[in-house]
Amino acid sequence: MPPPTPEQLARGAIDSQLRASGWHVQSVPERNLAAGRGVAVRELQSQGGPADSLLVA
């Protein structure tokens, strides 16, 4: 297995920090904006281009 890329390492650190702050971190296929207060959706495509995380409070 190849070592994680810098982007993968950063994503893991960001997701951990979001979870520690009380955010519900989800990927696009599993997204549920009603999961709780503060939902972070990873890797969402938008009209303006890709978003690393969409934060919905």
pTM of the predicted model as reported, rounded to 2 decimal places: 0.85
Residue-level pLDDT at 34: 96
Residue-level pLDDT at 39: 98
Query: Rounded to whole angstroms, what are the CA distances from 32 to 7, 9, 28, 36?
Result: 25, 25, 9, 9
What pLDDT, in 10s, does the model give residues 6-57?
Answer: 999 999 999 999 999 999 999 999 999 999 999 999 999 989 998 999 999 9
- Show the domain range for 52: 6-56
The count of structural domains within the chain is 1
Residue-level pLDDT at 37: 94
Tell whether 1 is covered by a domain. no
Residue-level pLDDT at 22: 97
